[in-house]
Structure 1
Amino acid sequence: MSRGVATKRGRRPITLGLRANAAQFTILVAINALVGGMVGQQQTVLPLLAEDEFGLTGYTFMFTYVIAFGVTKATANYFAGAWSDRFGRKPVLIAGWLFAVPVPLMLIWAPEWGWVVAANVLLGVNQGLTWSTTVIMKIDLVGPKQRGLAMGLNEAAGYGAVAITSMAAGYLAAEFGLRPAPFLLGLTYTALALGLSTLAVRETRGHAEAEASGHVPRADGRHDHLHGELSNREVFAQTSFREPALSSASQAGLVNNLNFGLSWGLFPLLFASSGLPVGQIGVLFALYPAMWGIGQLFTGALSDRWGRKYLIVTGMSTQAAALAVIASAESFELWAAGTMLLGAGTAMVYPTLLAVVGDVAHPAWRGRAVGIYRVWRDLGYAVGALMGGVVADLWSLRTAVWVAAAVSVVSAVVVAVRMYETHHRPAEMTPESADHG
């Protein structure tokens, strides 16, 4: 399905739609898989490295690398959105991969924990610039009809790669030690991604301009006051606080990644405390993003058919139930069920929240809106790691998981009360217009 636009940029006609832009879309999916793999190379390994090689015992201190990653990635998301609207998408994508080059080497050679934290600062910049830009570019390419499907494919690739690489890193760590084998994956991913971004990716900002020229307002008049260019301050205010759907998506994204950040730093320690070997911990950690990644192949497209709000509320509630299972479990089998359920809930939420932002944000300021939404969402890494570390130090690892479950319930209620349905058909295709046609 595609949508032709009577616009040209240079000599190349611009057409919106997944089929019309299949080659570029596929390249961007592959690049986003490599982005996810950069995170997966370390998720299973670093908590164990902190204890075994650096002798760290305080949970809050061990989670400093997650906090550094989350804060840096959130900040980089903002600049990715602003710069992609101002300078274009492709330069931001390439710059993001340049920041990744030192990361695996720093993790391999780190003589002290400060090197690991510094590597995660650079990784946060890499993730913020590259992941945000691939999201924006895919939204540019597909147009308004298939945003959910596009975001499902994008996030499935990224988190599927997290799962595969987490499992591969766990296997390499078990067979060859915690360093350097798992981090050689990151070196390979960076080289491939830089080559693809530089040689194969084309600029997509022209697609956003083409969509803006043919933008169709909602039949109910909502968003009329948001048409056209907004200042950076206005985009931040609308996305963070004022616009009900955008601000609801921002808080739900934060809580979703709060759960991810907490799981990143805490789950391996919880599983290890019951005597599970590294190999089984790697499997458990891979099940979460595997379900997350596979599920998004379906949930993104379903949100194009069913709407966004229902999936988001159901997904946040499912995450709360999954965390309750994980907090109370004592065996590998129950933990496996809990992590798979957590992945399923996250799959309902993750691409759908991005589709909400694409639905509401005007093409003229969409890049900045995506960046700001991802600022709030990825601050969840830091909030989850800090909250999990503090609660685990004061009480226990299991208590920290119960607290995250309660926060997820509150988030679901906020979306149910405040968010409206954002997915709509063009005015000429509404039931009302059909009835009067």
Structure 2
Amino acid sequence: MPPHLNVSAPSGIRLGLRENWPQFSLLVLINAFVGGMVGLERTVVPLIGSEEFKIASTTIVVSFIVSFGIVKAIANLVSGHFADVYGRKHMLVLGWLFGLPVPFMIGWGPSWGWIIAANALLGINQGFAWSMTVIMKVDLVGPKSRGLAVGLNEFAGYLSVGVTAFLTGYIAQRYGLRPQPFYLGIAYAVLGLALSILLVRDTRHHVGLELANHAAPAEKVGFWAIFRRASFGDRNLFAASQAGLVNNLNDGMSWGIFPLFFTAFGLGVEQIGVLKAVYPAVWGVLQTVTGPLSDRWGRKGLIVAGMWVQAGGLFLTAATRSFGWWFVASLLLGLGTAMVYPTLIASVSDASHPSWRARSLSVYRFWRDLGYAIGALSAGIMTDLFGAAWAISAIGVLTFASGALVAVVMNEHRPVRELERAR
């Protein structure tokens, strides 16, 4: 057992959302600030590359997403191990310290290299801070409400992504692409860091309580054994990891390619901001429904259907040329991602022992967020060679195929109602 988790729980520690609502609510708020840091970039940064720095190559423009995705994936991979060894709160604070320079570097950086470097720091911020808010919420609520906990966490994060994407587009339309939109990021980073230092409490005792009521693993499980199991050794964990990678692959593509695609057909920054806001806002809000539904209905059906709905949104985006149809496509992307995102995290938690759950979630999030880099890079190359519509369609085909793979490979999770009847 990791040394950080080798503790006995004090008598006042209980699992459950109602029992831990003050800390849970605080972590929801903090993750809204974490999500806002990504929302700063959804509308404005690709346009800074093409319009302010006059970068003609789409592949080079999306390079900031590649640096973000690779660094975030690696930060995710190590965050669970470090959280078990040093504590969840310490990693949350460290994530915010890395995020603090980001809005300054993007808002005032003199070259595109500064934007790429800022996104490397943003990747560490997201890999540590977002991972810890997810893991700590799962620690607090226990096994019965994981889907609800993850849904609320992702709701706060991605609603904030959407709201911030809209606000930055609105501000940029009136005051310019830099630096005014990034004042929001300064506020997010300062507030997130202050709340994490002053008010957040670690959740190691909640993990200790769950471990006390859970059968011990048959053997000590090392990091690389967990990596192999979460990557390809367990059919449920493999299905979740590949679906997470493809989900963020299409999200990375939409992050980098959509603003340039919409601009080419005459949309202004504010209209692009609306489209870029609708997708994560719908994604964020509906996770409060889809997360709890996965606890009751099971995980597999929501994941498969969600991947296919996303694919439909991508095909519609590529095939149409008007704001109205793109708005509908954005709604579909948001709906599909809401069905998939919290359900995948909950399915990984279902298949993991509490003593190594944080590390298995980290491996899953490594593969998932590596999708940002793969999606942005592959879509950038395809756009330069064949055009944006072809790139979007190709990613849509891959998304549909990923959902089909989940349908074939994943075993269904038994919902809470069935577990209670079985006791």
* Range class of TM-score, shorter chain: over 0.9
Give the Cα–Cα distance (whole angstroms) in 2 for the partners of residues 68 and 243 of structure 1.
29
CA drift at 1:263: 0.4
Amino acid at match of 1:236: F
Q: Is the Cα–Cα contact under 8 Å of residues 36 and 188 in structure 2 kept in the other structure? A: yes
- C-alpha change, 1:228 and 1:97, in structure 2 (3 Å) is farther
Write the deviation string for residues 104-158 of structure 1: whole angstroms up to 9, x where unpaired. 1111221110000000000000000000111100000000000001110000100
CA drift at 1:9: 3.5
Give the Cα–Cα distance (whole angstroms) in 1 for the partners of residues 334 and 229 of structure 2.
30
Partner of 1:9: helix, strand, or coil?
coil
Partner of 1:15: helix, strand, or coil?
coil
Aligned to 2:9: 9
Q: Is 2:249 the partner of 1:250?
A: no
Amino acid at match of 1:204: T
Aligned to 1:365: 356
Give the Cα–Cα distance (whole angstroms) in 2 for the partners of residues 373 and 428 of structure 1.
25
Q: Is the Cα–Cα contact under 8 Å of residues 228 and 362 in structure 1 kept in the other structure? A: no
CA drift at 1:428: 7.2
Amino acid at match of 1:338: A
Amino acid at match of 1:9: A
Aligned to 1:34: 33
Q: Is the Cα–Cα contact under 8 Å of residues 291 and 343 in structure 2 kept in the other structure? A: yes
Decide which of 266, 280, 290 is 1:299's aligned counterpart: 290
- C-alpha change, 1:427 and 1:205, in structure 2 (3 Å) is farther
Q: Is 2:118 the partner of 1:127?
A: no
Q: Is the Cα–Cα contact under 8 Å of residues 88 and 203 in structure 1 kept in the other structure? A: yes
Give the Cα–Cα distance (whole angstroms) in 2 for the partners of residues 424 and 152 of structure 1.
16
CA drift at 1:275: 0.2
Q: Is the Cα–Cα contact under 8 Å of residues 297 and 415 in structure 2 kept in the other structure? A: no
Report 1:12-91 matches (<5 A): 13-91=12-90
CA drift at 1:229: 3.6
Q: Is 2:185 the partner of 1:202?
A: no
Write the deviation string for residues 271-290 of structure 1: whole angstroms up to 9, x where unpaired. 10100111100000001001
Give the Cα–Cα distance (whole angstroms) in 1 for the partners of residues 391 and 196 of structure 2.
40
Give the alignment's TM-score, normalised by structure 2: 0.96
- C-alpha change, 1:362 and 1:273, in structure 2 (3 Å) is same
Aligned to 1:219: none
Aligned to 1:118: 117
Specify every segment of 5 or more residues in structure 1 that has no aligned partner in the other structure, as ranges.
1-6, 217-223
Aligned to 2:277: 286
Aligned to 1:92: 91
Q: Is 2:188 the partner of 1:189?
A: yes
Give the alignment's TM-score, normalised by structure 1: 0.93
- C-alpha change, 1:170 and 1:214, in structure 2 (3 Å) is same
Cα RMSD after superposing both structures: 1.5
Amino acid at match of 2:142: G
Q: Is the Cα–Cα contact under 8 Å of residues 34 and 158 in structure 1 kept in the other structure? A: yes
Write the deviation string for residues 209-235 of structure 1: whole angstroms up to 9, x where unpaired. 21111126xxxxxxx9x6564100111
Amino acid at match of 1:136: I
Partner of 2:13: helix, strand, or coil?
strand
Give the Cα–Cα distance (whole angstroms) in 1 for the partners of residues 226 and 414 of structure 2.
20
Aligned to 1:161: 160
Partner of 2:144: helix, strand, or coil?
coil
Give the Cα–Cα distance (whole angstroms) in 1 for the partners of residues 91 and 218 of structure 2.
25
CA drift at 1:423: 3.7
Give the Cα–Cα distance (whole angstroms) in 2 for the partners of residues 119 and 30 of structure 1.
24
Give the Cα–Cα distance (whole angstroms) in 2 for the partners of residues 428 and 249 of structure 1.
22
Give the Cα–Cα distance (whole angstroms) in 1 for the partners of residues 311 and 180 of structure 2.
35
Give the Cα–Cα distance (whole angstroms) in 2 for the partners of residues 100 and 427 of structure 1.
43
Give the Cα–Cα distance (whole angstroms) in 1 for the partners of residues 99 and 414 of structure 2.
36
Amino acid at match of 2:308: S
Write the deviation string for residues 143-194 of structure 1: whole angstroms up to 9, x where unpaired. 0000001110000100000000000000110111111111110100011001
Decide which of 302, 306, 310 is 1:315's aligned counterpart: 306
Identity %: 51
Report 1:137-286 matches (<5 A): 137-215=136-214, 229-286=220-277
Partner of 1:57: helix, strand, or coil?
coil
Partner of 1:420: helix, strand, or coil?
coil
Q: Is the Cα–Cα contact under 8 Å of residues 47 and 62 in structure 1 kept in the other structure? A: yes
CA drift at 1:294: 1.0
Aligned to 2:343: 352
Amino acid at match of 2:17: L
Specify every segment of 5 or more residues in structure 2 that has no aligned partner in the other structure, as ranges.
1-6
Q: Is the Cα–Cα contact under 8 Å of residues 356 and 423 in structure 1 kept in the other structure? A: no
Give the Cα–Cα distance (whole angstroms) in 1 for the partners of residues 51 and 73 of structure 2.
30
Amino acid at match of 2:9: R
Amino acid at match of 2:35: G
Q: Is the Cα–Cα contact under 8 Å of residues 8 and 14 in structure 1 kept in the other structure? A: no
Q: Is the Cα–Cα contact under 8 Å of residues 42 and 182 in structure 1 kept in the other structure? A: no
Give the Cα–Cα distance (whole angstroms) in 2 for the partners of residues 325 and 426 of structure 1.
38
Q: How many residues align?
A: 417
Aligned to 1:416: 407
Give the Cα–Cα distance (whole angstroms) in 2 for the partners of residues 387 and 198 of structure 1.
39
CA drift at 1:14: 1.3
Q: Is the Cα–Cα contact under 8 Å of residues 228 and 364 in structure 1 kept in the other structure? A: no
Amino acid at match of 1:351: P
Report 1:317-336 matches (<5 A): 317-336=308-327
Amino acid at match of 2:368: R
Give the Cα–Cα distance (whole angstroms) in 2 for the partners of residues 80 and 61 of structure 1.
29
Give the Cα–Cα distance (whole angstroms) in 2 for the partners of residues 111 and 379 of structure 1.
28
Partner of 1:276: helix, strand, or coil?
coil
Write the deviation string for residues 335-367 of structure 1: whole angstroms up to 9, x where unpaired. 000011011000000000000111111110011
Aligned to 1:396: 387
Q: Is the Cα–Cα contact under 8 Å of residues 227 and 362 in structure 1 kept in the other structure? A: no
Give the Cα–Cα distance (whole angstroms) in 2 for the partners of residues 128 and 277 of structure 1.
32
CA drift at 1:208: 1.2
Write the deviation string for residues 21-42 of structure 1: whole angstroms up to 9, x where unpaired. 0000000000111000001012
- C-alpha change, 1:27 and 1:163, in structure 2 (3 Å) is same
- C-alpha change, 1:288 and 1:357, in structure 2 (3 Å) is same
